[in-house]
Every structure is written in C-alpha cells, then in structure tokens.
Structure 1
Amino acid sequence: MFIVSLTYKVPLERIEPHVEGHMAWLHDAYAQGLLTASGRKVPRTGGVLLSHAERPALEACLDADPFKAHDLADYEIVECAITLTAPGFEALKD
C-alpha cells in the first residue's frame, strides 16, 4: 500500500482553477484501478491518496495530476504494509 501526501505549495487561489481537472484526473485514476481512497487534508493544505498500484504505475499516474503538472503541490509517497484493520477495512491489507 502507498500513502501519498499532497501538500499545496501555492495559495488556494492558485489551486482553485485546477480543481476540476484534478477531480477528472482522480476519477480516471479510480477507473484504472490505481487509487483505493482519497480526500482533502483538514485544514485544506493538500490531500491524501491511498493506492495498491505498483509504484511505477502510481508515479506515472501522479505525474499526470494537474496539481503536479502545474507545480502546485509537493508529493510524498510512503510505502507501508497494512497488517491489521478494523472490521470492514480488510481490503486495505496487503
């Protein structure tokens, strides 16, 4: 499993024009089976993605994100092996 932390590098005013493209990118990544879950950070300083994809496929996918293409966010990829989950979240296990 990979946890991807996106952190905005620019003010939200510069993020907003690219949100629609980012959402389209997310939907495409889900359709390709590359993402497991995603959401905004609170407070809104970026986002978090969960992925079971192979790392090269995930990295190629991230390169296509409008936030990355326009240099609006930094991306940190953390690999982890999920071994325990609460009931209902078993799909997160490796």
Structure 2
Amino acid sequence: MFLTMVNYIQPLEVVEHYLEEHIQFLDKYYDLNKFIFSGRRNPRVGGIILMNAVSEQEVETIIAEDPFYIHNIARYEIIEFTPTKYADPFQIFINDTPNIG
C-alpha cells in the first residue's frame, strides 16, 4: 500500500485551473479500485492519496497520468507501508495481509 503526498509547487490559481482534470484522473483510479481515499491537505498546500498498488513503479505510472504532474503543478512523495493493524472494515483493501493488531 502506498501513501502519496501531493505538494503544490504552483499558486492555487493554477491548481484550480486543472482541478476538474485532476478529479477525472482520481475518478478513473477509484473505478479501477486503485485509490482508497484522497483529499486536500489543511492548509491547502497539496493533497493525500492512499493507493492500493502492487509496486512503487505502478504508483509512478499512475502519477504520470495526473494533470498536476503533467503540467508541473505538484511534486509527489511516495511512502510505501504495510498495514499491520487496522479497523475490520478496512480488511477489504488488504491483500493477503492478516490483521495481527
């Protein structure tokens, strides 16, 4: 599983200009069951995306389709982690990982 921190490097006016395209990008990967949650950071300096991907290479391939990446609006920090403790309803996102809490 991967947590991706999106850090804006352009003013919010530029972010807003590409926001609808970014939302379409998000929708695509929610439909493919690759994204678990996403949202704006507070203060609004970027966002967070939790991805259910199999490798960092897959994450990088997905990010390369984000309009924020394509138009050099944001930088991305990719953090890989293995969930070892989680709420029971979260189990549907975990692939072959027992809740050893």
Which residue in the other structure is 1:62 paired with? 63
C-alpha deviation, 1:52, in angstroms: 1.4
C-alpha deviation, 1:92, in angstroms: 5.0
Which amino acid in 2 is paired with 1:48? I
1:1-94 to 2 correspondences below 5 Å = 1-55=1-55, 56-91=57-92, 93=94, 94=97
- Cα distance in 2 for residues equivalent to 1:81 and 1:41: 23
1:24-70 C-alpha deviation (Å, 9 max, x unpaired): 00000111222111111011110000011122222111100000000
- Cα distance in 1 for residues equivalent to 2:68 and 2:90: 29
C-alpha deviation, 1:86, in angstroms: 3.4
Which amino acid in 2 is paired with 1:32? L
The number of equivalent residue pairs is 94
Per mean C-alpha deviation after superposition, the further-off stretch among 51-60 and 82-91 is 82-91
Matched-pair contact (CA < 8 Å) for 1:82–1:92: no
Matched-pair contact (CA < 8 Å) for 1:5–1:46: yes
- Cα distance in 2 for residues equivalent to 1:71 and 1:9: 8
Which amino acid in 1 is paired with 2:87? A
Structure 2, unaligned stretches of length 5 or more? none
Which amino acid in 2 is paired with 1:12? L
Structure 1 moving runs of 4+ over 6 Å: none
Kindly name which structure, 1 or 2, has the bigger radius of gyration based on alpha carbons.
2
